[in-house]
């Protein structure tokens, strides 16, 4: 999305200025290699991290998602944002830096999707309840426990940080349903990136 410009009166902004003005990050789609790579731990808890987290929330809301991992916007760092609350943000906002699972409980089986696979859904087994520990944007550790949708979103997003996407480990019958669309996505990605080179 372009920032509002006044081309009649101002010179065209350079890329850095445009990036600074444009809050929405480009969503990476399957099979972008950044989605398949393990993300690096965050070590700097400064303004750049806060800015990235704010931009990730904005991107997630724009795309109507409930969770977003930094590799999905091309940043291979261990950062997640989530909001599963059906209320007005910032209510329900969770930013998890360097998250790890503390405990899981039970099981749920249901449909799951991913912003990096637009319009695709598959049934997937996940824990019913999950507790994670993570750092906030100040670097302080905290714990969060989620059930139902939040538990599903937490483990789905953590997978992204380990270079895993939701179409891996599907039951065969679920995988077969998506196979053609996945092949199509691969072809489209190759076509787009051949153009860019
Ligand atoms: Ni996802």
Beta strands in the chain (DSSP E): 67-69, 79-82, 94-105, 108-114, 117-126, 129-135, 141-147
Catalytic position from the list 157, 181, 183, 188: 157
Proportion of the chain above pLDDT 70, given as a percent = 87
The DSSP output letter for 2 is P
Q: Which of 5-9, 23-27, 45-49, 153-157 has the lowest mean pLDDT?
A: 5-9
Alpha carbon of residue 137 to chain centroid: 17
State which residues form the domain around 134.
Answer: 13-196
**In-domain check, residue 147:** yes
Helix (H) or strand (E) holding 88: none
pLDDT, mean of residues 177-186: 96
Residue 4 lies in a domain: no
Query: CA 112, CA 118: separation in Å to the nearest integer?
Result: 12
Alpha helices in 74-163 (DSSP H): 149-161
> What residue has token string 């059906």?
86
Q: Are strands 79-82 and 108-114 parallel, antiparallel or unpaired?
A: unpaired
- Ligand 1 centroid from CA 69, angstroms: 7
| Mean pLDDT confidence for 151-165 | 98
User: How far, in Å, from the CA of 8 to the mean position of ligand 1?
Assistant: 41
Going from the C-alpha of 63 to that of each of 22, 60, 144, 154, 160, the distances in angstroms are 15, 5, 24, 18, 17
* 135 in Cβ contact with 45 (< 8 Å): yes
Whether 8 is in a domain gets the answer no
In a domain, 3, yes or no: no
Residue 183 in any domain: the answer is yes
Ligand 1 center to residue 9 CA distance, Å?
42
CA 58 to centroid of ligand 1, rounded, Å: 16
Please answer whether residues 159 and 72 qualify as being in contact, where contact means their C-beta atoms are separated by less than 8 angstroms: no
Distance 156 CA to ligand 1 centre (A): 6
Per-residue pLDDT at 3: 39
With a cut of 80, say whether residue 23 has pLDDT above it: no
Asked whether residue 6 is assigned to any structural domain, the reply reads: no
Question: Distance, CA 165 to ligand 1 centroid (Å)?
Answer: 7
Count the domains in the chain. Answer: 1
pLDDT given at position 196: 63
Please say whether the beta carbons of 122 and 95 come within 8 A.
no
- Cα 58 from Cα 105, distance rounded (Å): 31
| CATH classification of the domain holding 46 | 3.90.45.10
What's the rounded mean pLDDT across residues 73-102? 95
In a domain, 42, yes or no: yes
- Decide if 63 is catalytic: no
- The predicted structure's pLDDT at residue 9: 41
pLDDT of 34 higher than 70: yes
Other CB atoms within 10 A of residue 153 CB? 23
> Mean pLDDT in the chain?
90
pTM of the shown model: 0.86
Percent of the chain with pLDDT over 90: 81
In a domain, 1, yes or no: no
- CB count in 10 Å sphere of residue 9: 6
């Amino acid at each position: 999305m372009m920032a509002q410009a006044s081309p009649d009166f101002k010179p065209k902004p350079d890329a850095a200025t445009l990036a600074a003005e444009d809050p929405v990050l480009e969503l990476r789609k399957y099979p972008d290699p950044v989605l398949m790579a393990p993300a690096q731990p965050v070590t700097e808890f400064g303004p750049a991290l806060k800015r990235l987290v704010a931009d990730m929330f904005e991107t997630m809301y724009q795309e109507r998602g409930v969770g977003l991992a930094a590799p999905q916007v091309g940043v291979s760092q261990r950062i997640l944002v989530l909001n599963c609350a059906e209320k007005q943000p910032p209510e329900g906002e969770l930013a998890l830096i360097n998250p790890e699972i503390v405990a899981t409980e039970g099981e749920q089986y249901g449909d799951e999707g991913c912003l990096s696979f637009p319009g695709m859904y598959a049934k997937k087994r996940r824990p019913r309840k999950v507790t994670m520990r993570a750092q906030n944007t100040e670097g302080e550790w905290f714990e969060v426990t989620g059930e139902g949708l939040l538990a599903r979103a937490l483990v789905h997003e953590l997978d992204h940080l380990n270079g895993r996407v939701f179409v891996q480990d599907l039951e065969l019958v679920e995988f077969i349903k998506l196979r053609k669309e996945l092949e199509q996505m691969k072809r489209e990605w190759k076509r787009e990136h051949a153009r860019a080179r």
